[in-house]
Amino acid sequence: MLDNLRTSGALSRAELMTRTGLSRTTLFAIISDMIEQGAIVETRGPENGPRGRGRPAAQVKLNPEAGQLIGLELARQQVRVAVANVSHQIVATDAMDLPRDGDLDAQAEIAVSLVRRVVRERGVRLSALEAIGLGIVGVVDDPDVPLGLVPARYSPITARLEREFGVRVAVDNNARLAALAERTWGAARSVDNVVYVRWSIGVGGGYILGGRLVRGAHGAAGELGHVSLDPDGPPCHCGSRGCLEGRIGGPALLDACAARGVALPGLAELVTAAQDRVPEVCQVISAAAGDLGRVLADTVVQLDPERVVLGGELSALGSLVLDPVRGAVASLSLPNSPRRIDVVPGDLGPSASALGAIALMLHEEPVIAEHLRPTVG
């Protein structure tokens, strides 16, 4: 029952009976015991609006004072944080720039400083903190560490967080976590089969299949940016050549714009120029979106999702990027099939990965809520 409340938020007793298969007598006895112990609380009426006429049905939810979770994303240029309680309420979000030449120890100190700033400025209490989720760039593939735990190269950051806040830290790929966040709260909510792509400085992705986040045998599932478009192309940091990320990632787009006489200092300025419909910039981005669409069309053929969600800074450009992707998916992935696959922008913006680190705790780390589990009978 706690797992259902943790993953779905507030539910009525009738909904819990359906989901758990428990009898009315047994379920009500458990709920009464858990309310008395402070593990859950009762609220009047559905939190997402009324259900017909009459007095709204009572619901139960996890006690928001019984635990808190922190999600962090260590991106290429920023660290982002989100704080939530176990009732799915997002308490705060914030971000802080990372130095371009900072080592992992410096990044760890910035992450700690960011959390402390949120605590101070937003009045967040950490006395009920249960765990921290961390989204990182790249493949989570340490052969000596199970998936979801700490790759050795990130141990300076996770160790610093654990010392500072006294809780364990679980790690996953940042784009994969953004996919999980969109499935939990955003554009893919309640959709069981999703392909997510994050188009930013780099290019990454995540797959939800059958309602579960897919990591793969070596933690590399979703690495769309490292699909090779040209085996004879320029070398990529992954060791391959001609990768999608090298062609459409932020630095490549800036270089292509500069070659057309439009020099821009960074990705934010690139997006602004595209929103202002600077012709050269729009041409570069539209062509890049076509490349992305062709890779996604291949992915759609293999995975058959219900929805493709485009996140990252470039997703803010609407039809300029969505139309080429939609066109490629429609024309290159079983075009004679009657199926419908939506291509939509993400809802959660820059905080998606930090929120996904929280969703990781809510959905896939049940040990976090173990202290809430009462003994009944």
Residues 236 and 342 in one domain: yes
Residues 197 and 313 in one domain: yes
Residues 116 and 36 in one domain: no
Instruction: Check pLDDT > 50 for residue 143.
Output: no
Tell me, yes or no, whether 182 lies in a domain: no
Residues 339 and 364 in one domain: no
Number of domain units in the chain: 3
Residues 220 and 323 in one domain: yes
Least confident range from 23-32, 144-153, 162-171, 240-249: namely 144-153
Instruction: Check pLDDT > 90 for residue 365.
Output: no
Tell me, yes or no, whether 377 lies in a domain: no
Return the closest-CA partner of residue 79 out of 114, 52, 55, 47: 114
Residue range of the domain that includes 301:
189-346
Residues 342 and 359 in one domain: no
For the entire predicted model, the pTM comes to 0.80
Residues 259 and 336 in one domain: yes
Residues 340 and 357 in one domain: no
> Mean pLDDT throughout 143-172?
76
What would the two tokens of residue 86 be? 């176990």
CATH of the domain at 313: 3.30.420.40
Q: What share of the chain is helix, strand, coil (3-state, %, to 5)?
A: 45, 20, 35
pLDDT of residue 150: 58
Mean pLDDT of the chain: 86
Q: Residue 344, exposed/middle/buried by CB under 10 A (0-12, 13-18, 19+)?
A: middle
Which tens digits make up the pLDDT trace of 277-322? Answer: 999 999 999 999 999 999 999 999 999 999 999 999 999 999 999 9
Residues 196 and 217 in one domain: yes
CATH of the domain at 35: 1.10.10.10
pLDDT of residue 133: 92
Instruction: Check pLDDT > 50 for residue 26.
Output: yes
